[in-house]
Amino acid sequence: MRMVETQEERPEIMERLHRVGITNLRTVAKINWKGREYTFLPVIEVTIDVPAEKKGIHMSRLVESITEAMSEAVEEEVAKVHSSLEELGKCVIERLEGKHPHRRAEVWIKTHLIIPRTTPASGRTSYEPYDVEVGVIKHEEGSFEKVLRVRVIGNTACPHAMANNNGKTHIQRAIGELEIRAGFDEEIPLEEMIEVVESSFSHPTYTLLKTVDENAVVQGMYRNPKFVEDVAREIFAKAKERFNGKIHVRVVSNESIHKHDVIAETWN
Amino acid sequence: MRMVETQEERPEIMERLHRVGITNLRTVAKINWKGREYTFLPVIEVTIDVPAEKKGIHMSRLVESITEAMSEAVEEEVAKVHSSLEELGKCVIERLEGKHPHRRAEVWIKTHLIIPRTTPASGRTSYEPYDVEVGVIKHEEGSFEKVLRVRVIGNTACPHAMANNNGKTHIQRAIGELEIRAGFDEEIPLEEMIEVVESSFSHPTYTLLKTVDENAVVQGMYRNPKFVEDVAREIFAKAKERFNGKIHVRVVSNESIHKHDVIAETWN
Amino acid sequence: MRMVETQEERPEIMERLHRVGITNLRTVAKINWKGREYTFLPVIEVTIDVPAEKKGIHMSRLVESITEAMSEAVEEEVAKVHSSLEELGKCVIERLEGKHPHRRAEVWIKTHLIIPRTTPASGRTSYEPYDVEVGVIKHEEGSFEKVLRVRVIGNTACPHAMANNNGKTHIQRAIGELEIRAGFDEEIPLEEMIEVVESSFSHPTYTLLKTVDENAVVQGMYRNPKFVEDVAREIFAKAKERFNGKIHVRVVSNESIHKHDVIAETWN
Amino acid sequence: MRMVETQEERPEIMERLHRVGITNLRTVAKINWKGREYTFLPVIEVTIDVPAEKKGIHMSRLVESITEAMSEAVEEEVAKVHSSLEELGKCVIERLEGKHPHRRAEVWIKTHLIIPRTTPASGRTSYEPYDVEVGVIKHEEGSFEKVLRVRVIGNTACPHAMANNNGKTHIQRAIGELEIRAGFDEEIPLEEMIEVVESSFSHPTYTLLKTVDENAVVQGMYRNPKFVEDVAREIFAKAKERFNGKIHVRVVSNESIHKHDVIAETWN
């Protein structure tokens, strides 16, 4: 039986589409970073462009590219495992090359990193979770760009209330987001981006805190009061110094005195 | 043309189903509470039971019951507008009586209340938002039960850190949830349930706070340090004193020193 | 007692911030559209820029601007009620003018519209919900821009499967999003944007469907099979014809044969 | 310096709390199931009860129990890795025994499973994602109970529309949830629970589908039309036959002809 390839037909409305593909696909991925293997259960999006004269794309070929890139990592020897999430993304696009014509392609991988830290007073190990997202974009002329995003949980201790209440102030959880858009070959480790954000709050936070550690964090927050504006500026200034690329910073503070949040955002 | 009513057929697998219906339906509702009209855009769920020998229900009749109950409120004179969300829910069930056989029915209405408050120092009016959910259940023997839920944003100031750091402590946003399950005719205003939760935090929060108000809130939090456990106990004790019914309390504190939350929950 | 205004101090890190303010604020709003009053419970974000040499902004003045703009609508006579969500947003910015120095300001209002429709066969009235978001941006040179977004639930019936299975195909819910960025004075009713999206699916959907209506919708979907690509192109082409401005279209189809979604996106 | 243990004080309001602890903690876990290692990045909740006369609990000891149970798996040899998520949960409770007095304890672990399947016509391997949650409860008298939950994405093809439209019908994605509450030692593999749900839809879904597979899925759905009620009944009947324990079934269908969902739920 011969199959109809409706995707190859000429569409009624001839408009080029920039991004067509699959999204919200949960899968398993493995990378080998600095000699150690990490497993993720990321959510993936893969898109390509569609020219005005083709009705649609062959979605299953995008899925095959993902599966093959993942299985490389899962089934071949460790030496061949991709060394970063962006390498994994690029590999999906390279798999796509032979499978589906396109001029432009994007892969987005969203997952969590768990990084061990040392607590500030007792010196215990605490495993800290971070949300990360990596995008790899192949442009029409063939160049590769990457977009790296980290999301870190920290805090703000309000300097205005502190100045008006003899050192008492309101404190709250805050979330800092840093995005960098750069050439694919720029070396920008997600771990360093996380470090830039985490060090810009009133104090870093920890999953495990014994009483002596809790005291250190509390006293640290009071020594370092910050508006959401201050956190955003510090992330932005540090990121500009350390990384090449287009930088976007967004900090949201879950105010303990309000039911709404406050926000500070900037970019270059 | 005669329609087939597949729903009336005998199913292959004969099991009674307790809850069948429509869910996540966004609509418009109006109630007349204490002489003033309030408009909501709630999300609604309506379910009935299905006996073992019927294949399915006629879903459109549930939608009709909702639409008719809502239009009563929207289109008839104000005097006929329902006086509370649970009255509105009961009215949906009453509309269902004539439309679709069943032994058991439930209506759930989820929306927001905006309540004006006076700020603690400057005496300004601040409009405070609360999440509420009301369930009305008609049991098989014909009795009506209601489930009332409120969700209030407040805060906790940690007493343990305060005792160990000369009055300094970590503070954070916390969320208190109170659920009461009672006979339909028990008088339990959502506003009073909200008041019980909001007054049990280290201090109530406000949308609008001038500097003098902010100072009052900050100083109030330090005068009233509370664990998430303390907040849960206070809500529970006050609710038991004021309301008849089965009470469930859940408080989650978005710790400013951790990336995770802490929780305290109890019930009778 | 004299208050310290920490916000007016010179910050340690001198960087201009483009967007600082309040977000995730739930409140009540009223508009008077074509002679009829509509009440909303929107979520609002208001931001202004902060120059490099000021430490922070006075957040409470943003809240006051919102509250005052909303109360105009709530408490003065109906004639003064704002005639659209973007007028309401602009009014918040105008209130801000006298309260807080800034060069740039943004207001974002996110809510739901409920619009009555007539069902395709029985001619009943069905109330359909839509998500909308309106942004109003005052640029540094004083010009006003608006961003209008609608999100509509529809469906896709796959033409490829239909061609290969003698008219049988997989069908699923799809979500279409249309964003238009235009000068503030362009007349672009949200209702028309919704109509553009809703009419571009395989068939519009309805909250209330009697069996004859359901049949009409089902047969309509089979007569009009569409890829997610086709839906995106139709929305884009119609929007370009009807509206001035920068257009962005995004369609996501919740595939019934996969666990992931497919996506088509384009812009001009 | 001597620390104050505020947690050990007598609270003002003396009420027993059933569940106090940490929640929304993202971490890394490893299990060794049938000789193969699996890594997860689960979200964890751990709670214990608090007697009326103690003000609070020592939260850090709960975190230590989690970290130690996880590191067993991460750092000791594979032979000691826990053989299931519920074993891992029980191990957290056992770690807690020596650390913090309590009468009752709960551990909840939420994660994703990725399971390889074979596509229906081309025989390819397709990796399918499932949401799972496992709760382990230590009751006051010392017995252990477990709660197992799976969430599977499938579909429904409406038999009523099919009967009224000459074989044409509306089809849509549906989500089936199965929960079993049983003694800890009952053997109830999550994979079997997933299989029960996945086989009860109109047809299973696949991440990878070549055209011949897509045809098989489409034709399968038309051969097996089902209401959301039918899916719920089939899951319930199969689960009762295969597993001991208290069973709860919930199926939600994202209707392609409506903007809302339909639901069927039952339990024993």
Domain ranges, ordered by start, for chain D:
16-103, 106-268
Are D229 and B57 within 8 A, CB to CB? yes
Q: Summarize pLDDT for D103-149 with one digit per residue, the tens.
A: 999 999 999 999 999 999 999 999 999 999 999 999 999 999 999 99
DSSP string, chain C: -PPP-GGGSPPSS---EEEEEEEEEE--EEEEETTEEEEE--EEEEEEEE-TT-----HHHHHHHHHHHHHHHHHS-GGGS-SSHHHHHHHHHHHHHTTS--S-EEEEEEEEEEEEEE-TTT--EEEEEEEEEEEEEE-TTS-EEEEEEEEEEEEEE-HHHHHHTTT---EEEEEEEEEEEEETTS---HHHHHHHHHTTSSS---S---HHHHHHHHHHHHHS---HHHHHHHHHHHHHHH--SEEEEEEEE--SSSSSEEEEEEE-
Confidence grade of residue D79 (pLDDT, cut at 50, 70, 90): very low
Q: Which chains does chain C touch, 3 or more C-beta pairs < 8 A?
A: A, B, D
How does residue C96 score in pLDDT terms, banded at 50, 70 and 90?
A: very high
Which pLDDT score, from 0 to 100, does residue C80 have?
54
CATH number corresponding to A13-103: 3.10.270.10
Share of chain B above pLDDT 70, in %: 96
| D30-63: pLDDT as tens digits | 887 777 788 899 999 999 999 999 999 999 999 9
Q: Do C60 and B210 touch (CB under 8 A)?
A: yes
Per-residue model confidence as pLDDT tens digits over D149-200: 999 999 999 999 999 999 999 999 999 999 999 999 999 999 999 999 999 9
Q: Is D118 on the interface with C (CB under 8 A)?
A: no
Q: Is the pLDDT of residue A181 over 90?
A: yes
Distance of CA C50 to the CA centre of its chain: 27
CA distance D22 to A136: 36
Q: Is the pLDDT of residue B76 over 60?
A: no
- The C-alpha atoms of residue A179 and residue B127 are separated, in whole angstroms, by 35
Question: What is the predicted pLDDT for the residue at A34?
Answer: 76
In this structure, what token pair is assigned to residue A34?
Answer: 């600095």
Question: Distance between CA A91 and CA A72 in Å, rounded?
Answer: 10
Per CATH, the number for C110-268 is: 3.10.270.10
Which listed CATH number (3.20.19.10, 3.10.270.10, 3.20.20.60, 3.40.50.800) goes with A111-268?
Answer: 3.10.270.10
Q: Using CB atoms, pick whichever of C3, C127, C212 lies closest to residue B28.
A: C127
- Name the band, by pLDDT with cuts 50, 70 and 90, for residue B259: very high
Distance, CA of A156 to CA of D160 (rounded, Å): 57
Q: Which long-range contacts (CB under 8 A, 24 or more apart) does C66-73 make?
A: C66/C25, C66/C27, C66/C92, C67/B125, C67/B126, C67/B127, C67/B207, C67/B208, C67/C27, C68/C95, C69/C95, C70/B127, C70/C27, C70/C28, C70/C29, C70/C30, C73/C29, C73/C30, C73/C31, C73/C32
C49, C103 contact by CB (below 8 A): yes
Does residue D77 register a pLDDT over 80? no
Q: Is A126 exposed, middle or buried (0-12, 13-18, 19+ CB in 10 A)?
A: buried
C102: closest CA among C59, C45, C43?
C59
The helix (H) or strand (E) run that includes residue A78 is: none
Query: Hey, is the C-beta of C12 within 8 angstroms of any chain A C-beta?
Result: yes
- Tell me how far apart the alpha carbons of residues B186 and B180 are, in angstroms, rounded to a whole number: 10
Measuring CA to CA, how many Å separate B225 from each of A166, B52, B160, B171, C152? Answer: 17, 55, 9, 9, 47
Backbone angles phi, psi at D62, to 5 degrees: -70, -40
Q: Say what the pLDDT of residue B38 is.
A: 84
Q: Pick the residue of B2, B6, B7 with the most D CBs within 10 A to test the interface with D by mutation.
A: B6
Residue B254, chain A, CB below 8 Å: the answer is yes
Chain B residue with minimum CA distance to D16: B266
Q: Tell me, what's the pLDDT at D59?
A: 95
**Lowest-pLDDT choice from A13-17, A38-42, C41-45:** A38-42
pLDDT at B124 over 80: yes
Q: In this predicted model, which residue has the larger pLDDT, D83 or A8?
A: A8
Is the ipTM reported for this complex over the cut 0.90? yes
The mean pLDDT of chain D is 94
Instruction: Tell me which chain C residue has its CA closest to the CA of residue B209.
Output: C60
Mean pLDDT confidence for B204-224:
97
* CB-CB neighbors (< 8 A) of D26 in chain B: 259-260
Closest-CA distance, D41 to chain B, in angstroms, reads 14
pLDDT of residue B235: 98
Which pLDDT does position A36 carry in this prediction? 79
How many Cβ atoms from other residues are within 10 Å of residue B250's Cβ? Answer: 20
pLDDT of residue A39: 87
Contacts of D169 in chain C (CB under 8 A): 218
- Class of the domain covering D106-268: alpha beta
Nearest CA in chain C to B126: C67
Is the confidence at residue A93, as pLDDT, over 60?
Answer: yes
Judged by phi (left if over 0) then psi (alpha if -120 to 50, else beta), residue D196 lies in alpha
Q: What is the mean pLDDT of residues C94-106?
A: 94
- Lowest model confidence (mean pLDDT) among A58-72, B209-223, C136-150: A58-72
Note whether C164 contacts A: Cβ–Cβ < 8 A: yes
B112-268 is classed CATH 3.10.270.10: yes
- Whole-number pLDDT of residue A81: 61
Decide if B163 touches C, using CB distance below 8 A.
Answer: no
CB of C260 closer than 8 Å to CB of D153: no
Answer yes or no: same fold for A13-103 and A111-268: yes
CA distance B194 to chain D (A): 20
Question: Which pLDDT belongs to residue C36?
Answer: 78
**Cβ B207–C40 below 8 Å, yes or no?**
no
Per-residue model confidence as pLDDT tens digits over B79-113: 456 779 999 999 999 999 989 999 999 999 999 99
Q: How confident is the model at residue C230 (pLDDT cuts 50, 70, 90)?
A: very high
- The runs of H, that is alpha helices, within chain A are 59-75, 85-97, 159-164, 190-198, 211-223, 228-242
Mean pLDDT, residues C130-137 taken together: 98
pLDDT tens per residue across span C33-89: 777 788 899 999 999 999 999 999 999 999 999 988 887 654 444 345 677 999 999
Q: Which residues of B63-101 are buried (b: 16+ CB within 10 A; e: fewer)?
A: bbbbbebbebbeeeeeeebbebbbbbbbbbbebbeeebe
Kindly report, residue by residue over D10-34, the tens digit of the pLDDT. Answer: 999 999 999 999 999 999 988 877 7
Q: How far is CA D224 from CA D152, D157, D199, D233, in A?
A: 18, 7, 11, 14
Separation CA A194–CA A130 (nearest Å): 8
State chain A's mean pLDDT as an integer: 94
**What pLDDT, on a 0 to 100 scale, did the predictor assign at position C156?**
98
The shortest C-alpha distance from C183 to chain B (Å) reads 30
Of C155, C217, C258, the CB nearest to D205: C258
- Which of the four pLDDT bands, split at 50, 70 and 90, describes residue A33? confident
Q: What is the pLDDT of residues D240-254, one digit of tens each?
A: 999 999 999 999 999
Say yes or no for a CB contact (<8 Å) between B214 and A258. Answer: no
Q: Please answer yes or no on whether B17 and D237 come within 8 Å at the CB atom.
A: no
Cβ contacts below 8 Å, chain A against chain C, sum to 158
Distance from CA of D105 to the nearest CA of C (A): 35
Quickly state the pLDDT bin for A71 (edges 50, 70, 90).
Answer: confident
State chain B's mean pLDDT as an integer. 94
Name the nearest CA neighbour of C132 among C203, C208, C29, C233.
C29
pTM of the full structure: 0.96
